Chain A
Amino acid sequence: MLKDLFKTKPKYITVKSEQDFQPREEAIEKKEIPDGLWVKCNRCSQITYNKDLERNLKVCPKCGYHFRISSKERLALLTDEGSFQEIDKNLKTVNILDFPDYDNRIKKAVKSTDLTEAVVTGEAMMNGIPVVLAVMDFGFMGASMGSVVGEKITRAAEYAIRKKLPFIAVTASGGARMQEGIMSLMQMAKTSQVLNRLAEAGCVYISVLTDPTTGGVFASFAALGDIIIAEPNALIGFAGARVIQQTIRQTLPPGFQTAEFLLEHGFVDMIVPRKDLKSTLTQLIKFHLNGGGVDVQ
C-alpha cells in the first residue's frame, strides 16, 4: 500500500521557510529532524503527529504546506505498486578533480540515503501506462548535478526515445555540483540537448519541479518540459536568494521564486497539489499516447 511505503521511512525533511533556504547540500544536514514524533509546519507552525503527516503525503493538514519527500516516497506516490524497474543503478561517482573532501561527502550521502547518487531513473507503470521517470533526491548532497546525475538523466531520456515512452523528470536540486567543476556545467548541456532528440522522437516530456529546483538544474532540463508542473510552495529559481540580495541590496518581494511566482510570470503550466499529481500526470500522458496527434487523411 502507498501508505505503508510512507511509513517505512521515519526520517523526513523539514525546512524553516523558503526565505531561509540555502541551495546547497548543507541545507539538508541542518534541517533533518530524525525520528520526531511531532512535526511543526514550516509555514503555519501547526504541530502535526508524524504519522498523520505521512498519511497526508507530507502535506500540512492545516495550511497545505508541502514538505520535501525522498525519491523513494515520490516513486511510491507516482507509480503503480511494484512496477518500478530501475535502470543505470550501477553508475558511480568518481572524484575527477581530486576535490577536497568530495569522496567523503559522497560516502556519507550514500550511507545516509541508501542511494548511489542523487537521481533515480527507470521505467514504471502510472495507472497502467508505461512511463520513464527520473526522480531527484535532495537528500543526496542537495541533489546537485555532477557527471552521474547528468548521465543518468540523459540515459533515461534516451531510454524513453528507444521505447517511445513519455519522459517525466521530477526535479529537486541546488544546481550543478561544484565538486566536479566544469564537468558539472557540461551536464547542463548534455541533459538539455537530449531533449531535442526526445522531441524528434515524438515523446512528451513533462517536468515536475519540486522544492527546491534551482541553479543549473533549473537552467537546463527542468525548465524545458513540454509541460511544466510545480508543486505548491516549491522554491524554484536560477540565482540563489542570498546572491540576489547581495547584488541588489534590497529585500526580496514576498513569495519570490516560489511555484506561485513562476506561474504568475508564465514559467510553469500549472501548480498541482501532491495528492493530485499522479492523476494529473496520467491525464496529461493520455493526451500524448501514440504521438497524441489526430490522423489526417
Chain B
Amino acid sequence: MSNNVGPILEFEKPVVDLEKQIEELKRFSQEKGIDMQEQIAALEQKAENLRMEIYSNLTVMQRIQIVRHPKRPTCLDYIGMIFDNFIELHGDRLYRDDPAMVGGIAYLNGIPVTVVGQQKGRDTKENIYRNFGMPHPEGYRKALRLMKQADKFGRPVICLVDVVGAYPGVEAEERGQGEAIARGIMEMANLRVPVIVAVTGEGGSGGALATGIGNRVLIMENAYYSVISPEGCAAILWRDGSKVQEAAEALKIGAKDLLKMGIVDEIVPEPIGGAHKNPALASKNLKEALVSNLTPLLKLSPSQLLEDRYQRFRNYGQFIEN
C-alpha cells in the first residue's frame, strides 16, 4: 500500500488506527528484539477482515467521498500511466484554452487515439487553475474540436470523465454553456470512429454527458454517474441538505445500479479502498478495460459504429405504451 494517500476518510479510521498499531508493534518488537510475530499476524488478519468489512459495504456517499479524495488520480495521471507518447493539444480555436478540459493524441497499446477528459487539480493552487475540473463552454468546444480531428484521421476517441458538473457561472452562461453541451452531445453521436467513455470519478450530469456519447461506456468501481448531485437533489426535492444520503440512494447513481440499467457496460475494479491507494493498479485495470473494449470496435465500419452508438442511446428510457 502506498504511504502517500492523503487525508483519511471518516469511515476508514478504524482500519487506519489498526494499521498504526501494527506499525508501532513492529517497531517495538524490532527495537526490543522481542519476537511478536504471532501477535502481529493476528492483528494483520484483523485489519484485513476490517478492511473487507468496511470496503465491501460502502454506501454511495462513502464512494463519493472516495472519488472526491484529493489524491484520486486525475485525468492527466491516468493518461500518463495508461497511454504512450501523449502530446497535449490546446484551445478551442474560438475563445481560449480551458485548463479544466485536457486532450491530445497518444498511443493506447500501440493504437493511435485521441484522448480527452476533465482535469481536476491535485492541490488548491492547481485546482484554482483547473477551476476544480469544471469546464466552461470553451472546454467542451476544445474537446469536440479534438474529437472531430480524431474523426478526420480515423483515430478512436477515449473520453475520461471526472466532473462534478459543467461550471455554473455568469461567463459560462454568456458564452453558451447549454449550447456547448448540446452540440457536444449531438456531434459526438456523429463520430465515425470508435468512442469509449470511462467515468473515472464523478459523472456529473450534462457536464459529463457532453463527453459521454460512447459506443462503450465504462465506469470505475467507486465512480458515480448522475443527472444531479445528491446534494442538489436533496436541496431541490426535499429542501433539506441533510437528506443527501437518501437522495444518493434514491437516484441509483452507483456503478452496480448503472450496470443493471444498461447505462454502463463494465465496471472497472479499483484497488481496495479506492484508486488513490494504488494508482498504478487502478491504471492497469482501466487500461485493460479500455483495450478489451476497443479491440472489437476496431473491426466495425464507420456506419456500423454510428448505428451501434445511435441505437445505444435511442433505446434509453422506460415507459408504458398502451
Contact = CB atoms under 8 A, between A and B. Distances in A.
A239 B227 contact: no
Contacts of A256: 170, 173
B318 A96 contact: yes
A154 interface: yes
A37 interface: no
A105 to B, nearest CB: 10
A237 B226 contact: no
B250 interface: yes
B252 interface: yes
A224 B205 contact: no
B206 A238 contact: yes
A99 B250 contact: yes
B115 interface: no
A195 B183 CA distance: 11
A188 interface: yes
A128 interface: no
A139 to B, nearest CB: 18
B129 interface: no
By secondary structure, the A interface counts as helix
B313 A238 contact: no
A219 B177 contact: yes
Contacts of B186: 192-193, 195-196, 224
Interface in A176-204: 176-178, 180-190, 192-196
Interface stretch (A6-14, A42-50, A75-83, A143-151): A143-151
A181 B233 CA distance: 10
Contact of B233 (A147, A178, A186, A223): A178
Contact of B173 (A93, A193, A195, A237): A237
B242 to A, nearest CB: 15
Nearest to A266: B176
B218 interface: no
Interface string A67-111: 000000000000000000000001111101101100000000000
A90 B177 contact: no
Contacts of B318: 94, 96, 147, 183
Contact of A244 (B169, B246, B319): B169
A238 B316 contact: no
Interface residues of B, number: 52
Nearest to B246: A100
Nearest to A264: B174
Given A238-B172, A239-B173, A190 B190 contact: no
A293 B175 CA distance: 31
B261 A190 contact: no
Given A97-B252, A239-B172, A244-B170, A190 B183 contact: no
- Most chain A beta-carbon neighbours within 10 Å: one of B178, B179, B233, B316: B178
B268 interface: no
- Most chain A beta-carbon neighbours within 10 Å: one of B189, B227, B322: B227
Interface in B165-219: 166-170, 172-179, 181-183, 185-186, 189-190, 205-206, 209-210, 212-213
B146 to A, nearest CB: 19
A219 B227 contact: no
Interface of B: 166-170, 172-179, 181-183, 185-186, 189-190, 205-206, 209-210, 212-213, 225-228, 232-233, 236-237, 246, 250-253, 258, 261, 263, 310, 313-314, 316-322
Interface of A: 24, 90-94, 96-97, 99-100, 146-148, 150-151, 154, 176-178, 180-190, 192-196, 215-216, 218-224, 237-240, 243-244, 247-248, 250, 252-253, 256-257, 261, 265-267
5 contacts: A94-B318, A185-B226, A186-B316, A193-B189, A193-B314
Given A184-B227, A186-B316, 7 more contacts: A97-B250, A151-B319, A178-B227, A187-B316, A189-B185, A250-B170, A267-B176
